A and B are shown apart, each in its own frame.
Chain A
């Protein structure tokens, strides 16, 4: 399968714990995006990488959130000191060019108890 993959698919954690998600983009895509989607809403942009450089960050990405793409391949999104309001679907997407289609992964559903 050459699509975008995300792990884990589901994560349940207690408030205050740290969590980390991984995204593997389509292999030839050097652009990678993270979005967050809550129930009944469209996805909201979090951050964008071109290769290993993080070029755009949303104001939604508070100081508890950090994203990395160390070698320009896979990316990780870490949330520290999780809050119940962080419960959402976290989606990753990739593209070969910023003007081309973005292809999305299956998402990681986070539940904070």
Chain B
């Protein structure tokens, strides 16, 4: 059974700092990994999707890396802003026929202090 772990559970940083969020998964047989942002009481906003054949993806100040063999992904946020405050979730899609679901971690709650 795939398990996804995100460390740390919560993180507080001053505005302007660069930061890294970590995600690990137990089964390396994945199709892709997706990072999401969730604001309190809201749905999920997709940030980045990395296919299993890719090593990283970039969008603006965000860069996500994937090391499938070691079961790890990182989300790097450059020059953090108070508007980045949210919970960040990673999710993996297991490879193999008949499985379409995403398996999520519990998330990292990020607070960026002005």
Contacts and interface: CB of A to CB of B under 8 A. Distances in A.
A45 B101 contact: yes
B93 A43 contact: no
A45 B102 contact: yes
A43 B99 CA distance: 16
B75 interface: no
Contacts of A42: 4, 89, 91, 104-107
Contact of B104 (A43, A48, A55, A98): A43
Chain B, interface SS category: strand
A91 B43 contact: yes
A33 B42 CA distance: 17
Contact of A55 (B41, B91, B100, B103): B100
B49 A104 contact: no
B98 A56 contact: yes
B46 interface: yes
Contacts of A109: 41
A50 B2 CA distance: 23
Contacts of A100: 49
Interface string A1-41: 00010100000000000000000000000010101000011
Given A40-B106, A45-B102, A55-B100, A99 B31 contact: yes
Contacts of A101: 34, 46, 49
Nearest to B41: A109
B44 A44 contact: no
B65 interface: no
A58 B102 CA distance: 12
Nearest to B90: A42
Interface in B18-65: 31-32, 34, 36, 41-46, 49, 51
A93 B98 CA distance: 18
B101 A48 contact: yes
Contacts of B45: 104
Given A40-B106, A98-B93, A104-B44, 11 more contacts: A33-B101, A33-B102, A35-B102, A43-B104, A48-B101, A56-B99, A99-B31, A99-B93, A101-B46, A103-B46, A106-B42
